[in-house]
Amino acid sequence: MGNFDELLFKFNQERHGNPVESYPQLAEELLNNNDQDPNFKVFRAGAITRLCTQNKNLLPQLELALDDIKGIDFSTLDKDVHTYFFYRILWACEDMPSEAARYQKHIEHFEKHIAENKDYFNSDNVRFQKYLMSILIKLSKSNFDLSKILPHIDIDRLTNDNLFSLTFFGMFYENSPKVFKKYLGNRNFSQIANSANENDRIALVNYLRCDYCDMDSRILAALAYFGDKTFKELAESGNPRDRVALLAFARIPDQKYLQQRVEALYAIFGDRSFEEIANSSDYIDRDALLAFVKIPSYLPEQVTAIDIILKTPTFDDVITPLIIYGRITTIPPHIRVEKFLDYFGNKKFSELANFDDPDIKELFLTFAKIPDINSANKRSEVFLAYFGDKSFKEIAKSTDKRERDELYHFANTPGNHFLKKREAINALIGDMSLDELLKQGIEGRKKLQLYATMCDDVSKKRSAFAALLGNRSFLEIANSNNHDRWALFDYAENIDDYDTKVAALKALIGNESYDEIITSYDSVKRAALYSLAKISRDPDEVSAINDALLKKINKPRTSQKFERSLRLARADISESFKTRTKIFNKLIDRRTYDMVVLNDGEFGKRLLLEVGGTRNNYDRKQRIDALNAILENKEYREIIETGSKLELDALLELSKNISTKSGYIQLYERERFYSLEALAKAGYKVDEIREFAEKSLEATQGELKQTNFKKVLRACEGNRASCKVQLQNAQDSANEQSSIVAQNLNTQATINTQATINTQALNNFR
């Protein structure tokens, strides 16, 4: 082939010295050259590609040239030839997008080759360096990972001009600080900003955009670039670089300059509305709007801007604003969820969630953690899609803290997959003792509380809640954070001692009147009040709470949703079956049970679970119909696999509807035996199932039914504890109870104090 430089020089002379119309003749001369050197053939293909970008009539000659290089091993070529060809085809793909497919295999090969050959781009040849920079510019516009190339470039070999070109890649290049230092030299930022060399000012703007460079230095560089000009003057200067500098400054995450960053963006916006900016064809406008919603200043205008971005179908990036929107806690959860569901459309999460893409992963996990009860089931599905085929134990032992945190968030999400969630929290706790969990601080306490809440074993619940409460008094805990207050409430629900239970509940209720508690947003106080009404031995106290509920129910301005929840609470605290049935009938309002579930959702299911219980005057058929409506004709296996706690309770209640009379086992009864056995094997309320099976076994005379009840009992024996985690220092229930009452909670003094406080509160209320 001869010398490449001479060949290229001769070709460029002939190309520049002849009009475009004569390019076919030049291409024919190249094709008629019989040089069989692979380097020449590849050079010829690159040269004809160059001619073709200016004269599209040369496509037949181009096809011949490309056919002639098939089968050539490019790794054996001279580096100059190889790079020249790649440089030319990248330009051709941009100039002739319709012909890009011709070069796809060559591009893939070259990308692979340069990724594997770390020293490929290091050369002292100035022309070669020029090709290098052009190639990097082209690759940066594609999906090629520049981190495979940039760290291996020897910047000491580059000329100043090529160093300047490399400053454009600051956002991709962790070695960028060295590049800028070498290019800028010992000059200060003011000298560079006032340099007569335009490239210096451009390099300074590139420095502002480089996240790898020191934040404080970038701020100083920005101030030097701005000089005495105002943000408005820079934005209206007509020089696009000034607007890029304003945008770069606004993106520097320095909280000390938060106000100035916002002002810089408003200068770019000018007098235009967010709608105009979102629909602008200028990428600086759109990027500025995106930077505005990312600034952590929590301005109301940011929410407006996000809304507009999400409504603009042509906007480049809607994922980032949606992630930000999902994390703004001042927006009600159900509204945030609606935005996500609008974006997801009707597709399944498994089709949408590509967790290999960090942005998509962040989007879905943000959605999964929005505390909206109505979307809990969808959010659980996202977590399961994120976990994939990994077992919970595998995730719990992962070195990736993010994965372990998401496993906790999954376990703490209400709704479906209750047994899986319990398995998840068990995996997170593993073999840790109570002391080890408490030493983890707030994270360990949250895990322990969730474990105790989901566990069916009363002694383990008591151990866990007692550990959470520690040596503090009831009053101290009642005035603590919500996690501790709920722990105190759950502790009160699971102890037998009446005085201690009442003292704990009254500490949570505090000095507020019953009316104030019922209408407050404090769910812990309301739960404690209703629980007190159910167990109190003081008829005046129960009557006062009931009157407070009735007063609020009958108030004209009470919303229908709140009124229904108050009626259900009133039914729950009532001991009269007649009163309970009357309230249930009022809430059902002559609808079918299926319509109750369809119209009222989760509330309707809670209502029907009460109807399906035995504390009312409904007959057996009505109770069974109510429970079947909750389960929506699902098979018991599906309910155990994916059901919520409420659905599992409904399945258990339904399964206990087995006649103890002798005779054949009905088909529906056989199904209920199977579900009881499956629930016991799954570890759900094993003690309750065992107690029911033992009583039924004694009462029934039929041999077949006895055999089936024995199967249920064997399943219970195979899984004695519904929570499989054995907390190492769990004490004997009786010893633990006396320890908690006597030592940890200063009970007697607390009880007396609380009784006095609440008697006064009751008298004040009356």
Q: Tens digit of pLDDT for each residue in 196-229?
A: 888 899 999 989 988 888 999 999 999 999 999 9
Confidence band of 117 (pLDDT split at 50, 70, 90): low
Has residue 396 got a pLDDT over 50?
yes
436 token code pair = 């080890």
Confidence band of 528 (pLDDT split at 50, 70, 90): very high
The closest of 490, 489, 481 to 509, measured between CA atoms, is 489
Whole-angstrom Cα distance, residue 135 to residue 156?
A: 19
Which of 690-703 are b and which e, b meaning 16 or more Cβ less than 10 Å from the residue's Cβ? bebbeebbeebebe
Has residue 525 got a pLDDT over 90?
yes
734 Cα distance to chain centroid: 43
Q: Is the dihedral of CA 31, 36, 38, 40 positive or negative?
A: negative
Has residue 751 got a pLDDT over 70?
no
Confidence band of 102 (pLDDT split at 50, 70, 90): confident
Please write down the HEC assignment for all residues of 554-594: CCCCCCHHHHHHHHHHHHHHCCCHHHHHHHHHHHHCCCCHH
Question: What's the pLDDT score for residue 145?
Answer: 65
Q: Tens digit of pLDDT for each residue in 225-245?
A: 999 999 999 999 988 899 999
Q: What is the CA radius of gyration of the chain?
A: 37
Query: What average pLDDT does range 615-644 have in this prediction?
Result: 92
The closest of 65, 198, 82, 183 to 135, measured between CA atoms, is 82
Rounded to the nearest 10 degrees, the angle between the axes of helix 401-411 and helix 418-429 is: 140
Candidate from 45-59, 72-86, 121-135, 654-668 with smallest mean pLDDT: 121-135
Backbone angles phi, psi at 456, to 5 degrees: -95, -20
Has residue 728 got a pLDDT over 50?
no
Please write down the HEC assignment for all residues of 123-164: CCCHHHHHHHHHHHHHHHCCCCCHHHCHHHCCHHHCCHHHHH
Write the single-letter amino acid at 457. Answer: D
Mean pLDDT, rounded, of the chain: 84
Question: What's the pLDDT score for residue 352?
Answer: 67
Whole-angstrom Cα distance, residue 467 to residue 488?
A: 11
Q: What is the DSSP letter of 666?
A: P
- The widest CA-to-CA distance across the chain, in whole angstroms, is 111
The closest of 501, 549, 508 to 525, measured between CA atoms, is 508
Q: Concatenate the DSSP letters of all residues of 502-558 into one string.
A: HHHHHHHHTTS-HHHHHHSS-HHHHHHHHHHHHH-S-HHHHHHHHHHHHHHHT-TT-
Q: Tens digit of pLDDT for each residue in 179-202?
A: 888 888 889 999 999 998 888 999
The closest of 229, 181, 225, 176 to 204, measured between CA atoms, is 225
In the chain, the percentage of residues whose pLDDT exceeds 90 is 39
Question: What's the pLDDT score for residue 757?
Answer: 36
CA angle, corner 553, sides to 550 and 558, nearest 5? 150
Query: What average pLDDT does range 694-710 have in this prediction?
Result: 89
The closest of 581, 576, 574, 673 to 626, measured between CA atoms, is 581
Question: What's the pLDDT score for residue 92?
Answer: 80
Q: Tens digit of pLDDT for each residue in 426-441?
A: 999 988 888 888 898 8
Candidate from 170-174, 318-322, 546-550 with smallest mean pLDDT: 170-174
Has residue 320 got a pLDDT over 70?
yes
- Between 455 and 146, residue with greater pLDDT: 455
- Between 34 and 159, residue with greater pLDDT: 34
Whole-angstrom Cα distance, residue 259 to residue 224?
A: 18
Q: What is the DSSP letter of 273?
A: -
User: How would you classify residue 445: left for phi > 0, otherwise alpha for psi between -120 and 50, otherwise beta?
Assistant: alpha
Query: What average pLDDT does range 252-273 have in this prediction?
Result: 93
Has residue 105 got a pLDDT over 70?
yes
Confidence band of 638 (pLDDT split at 50, 70, 90): very high
- Between 260 and 161, residue with greater pLDDT: 260
Confidence band of 357 (pLDDT split at 50, 70, 90): confident
Question: What's the pLDDT score for residue 736?
Answer: 44
Q: Is the dihedral of CA 225, 228, 233, 239 positive or negative?
A: negative
Q: Does residue 681 contact residue 720 with C-beta atoms inside 8 Å?
A: no
Question: What's the pLDDT score for residue 243?
Answer: 94
Query: What average pLDDT does range 683-690 have in this prediction?
Result: 92
* pTM (two decimals): 0.72
Question: What's the pLDDT score for residue 143?
Answer: 61
493 token code pair = 């629900």
496 three-class SS = coil
The closest of 16, 17, 40, 18 to 30, measured between CA atoms, is 40
- Between 606 and 13, residue with greater pLDDT: 606
Whole-angstrom Cα distance, residue 321 to residue 292?
A: 10
Write the single-letter amino acid at 356. Answer: D
Question: What's the pLDDT score for residue 95?
Answer: 76
Has residue 699 got a pLDDT over 70?
yes
Torsion, Cα of 348, 353, 359, 362 (10° steps): 90
Whole-angstrom Cα distance, residue 138 to residue 53?
A: 16
Whole-angstrom Cα distance, residue 481 to residue 501?
A: 20
